[in-house]
Structure 1
């Protein structure tokens, strides 16, 4: 699919300024792609080295490049030292059409067309890049083999694009927002096609499966992997996060809704996995549950799976329903009949919960009915005569979790009985 992508790195939202802007807070603006410079803003010498002729990039700042394995001279400029470009702000491509002036009311004119959608982004942007041809606005790429070629070790993460958002504003009565990577795709009226934020992972090797206990195993491919984060310098201070994924309403008033939470498109999942013939939508580790909450923040219902099978908890009734691998009440296979004369039978529509059986020839004195799947704890059964051969027979029933035995007071030849069972 041909993609038209634009990435604007900015600090959101536009600042709300109580008074006039002090120019000492802002560095000089330099345009790359146009021979012009705005000198109305002062240069912050300690942060940038951008006092140079119009349209020229200054690279006189040097840095120590050591050890050589990590800072090769071919990359940094020479074996001992490399050159570093420094500037306070940078506009590239179509973004150079904007003034970039800082204004409390939003972007000043002329401004990039992106300002019509998000006022203030150009005046807030440290780096802005727009593609006037409607193609790639910003591209980042990296490969692990390049890291290994220089360092002779495995890459800990070759990343094409990386963003960090640090929420450290402790001012009382404020709600600061920190966003490591913020992306939004906008569809205008009467426009067709797709409007998405897309994440892909391509696999050119053999298929590597995973499950909740293999985890992120070597060779596996994941278009989206969410974790609770790593901050090496503060690892001992990390705590649990709120959630891995959340859905929220949109619009300034929160009135814009998504029609559906998640859609799994038919054909997207490998049909060779799972029991349903159309793939596995989700895998959960044993004991992990789904909950339904109410506005009082208590749980209405919950279900989970464990070694006994599927559990469904109904909080209002205070019960825990269990549907386990060994416990099928109304949907089990037909039980089997044993020690019941010659050629006894069970109606093929019978289940553990109800059905009928017919004794065999030879007037047996007892019949043993074995459930297709044993009840977890116990079963309780009743038997009712159906045909004339069964009508006069006296019966005694002994039930267990695995089945029940019917003992007749006299012989019961070709006698048909109905049964019902329940248990827990």
Structure 2
């Protein structure tokens, strides 16, 4: 047999073996393992292989991650000797698995995060936020004569949802400054230089105020607003970091539905006075009033897709938990029974039973990670299910904080969505971004 023929036959045999190995159950079992694993310092995690297969496991940072309680960088594992991971210190490690001890088929990035415990919330809070500029919420027609009406703002190209940040170079930090600047420009027949944001774009325009013949005043032809207020629910307080998270969803302007860019704000204690029950097709709401100004419990630093976040100095009153509890990463959350914490009367936080009916597998931050169903007869009797103002209510499962209530199903108010708690913790700064969110993350 010629050497060329032998090479061809060997190549064909090798290709067949690789095709068989690549489609075999043991290899597919390895492929099904996660690419990224997150652990808190001191946590344990067991990797389960679905079929009888022997493998070799190796880790590049045994000082960060140990296998089966030893500092050895390489171990043999099998169904009778599963692989247990123990995190020793914060950092990043790579775990490599080789099928049959020779074929590398899985490399897992393991991120070990400093231990974190938080106080679950549930308290109803009043939210008062001031935007980082002046928000345009409508166009207004100015009566410049008995038969002519114009909107200088619309003519200047300013749209609903735009955020005016400067006028003639002066930062717009308070809506009260606008009137005098408009009067001055109108009387002096000068145009106003307006800087504004539209989404991520920074734009500018010139606007000539118009004199309203009926009101006897100079006008921009714009409806504007610089603040918003409402009620929601506190989700967590992280004492070691001094931060909190609440609401579980972004605050938007009621007229334009654009997210409010926070300039400043505060959350205050709030008292639930009554509840309008949810019905099919008509979500209910909590009715509450803010307590006096001295009851400010935190500031507002940011407003994201997952709620509002800021600084807080202590666990607020009426907490169900007197000590902080662990949190669960998304991959730990299971379908089945759980509970939420919320207020339905006064300021008293109560526990209510729910069922987690669906868990979405998310590798990156996204809303609607959980589908939940209220099962507690007391809560159903009181509220009809999920009501407005309940957003942010913490979800507890197996003694861990796993998420927050975010939305109600309008046609089935006993059901709704929740988000994973880790996305809220990331936005608060309490935990770092996951490995796959940091494209250039390297083992340190």
Q: Place the TM-score, normalised by the shorter chain, in its bin.
A: under 0.3
* Larger Cα-atom Rg: 1
Report the TM-score when normalising by structure 1: 0.19
Q: Tell which has more relative contact order, 1 or 2 (C-alpha 8 A, sep 6+).
A: 2
Higher helix fraction (1 or 2): 2
Higher strand fraction (1 or 2): 2
Report the TM-score when normalising by structure 2: 0.19
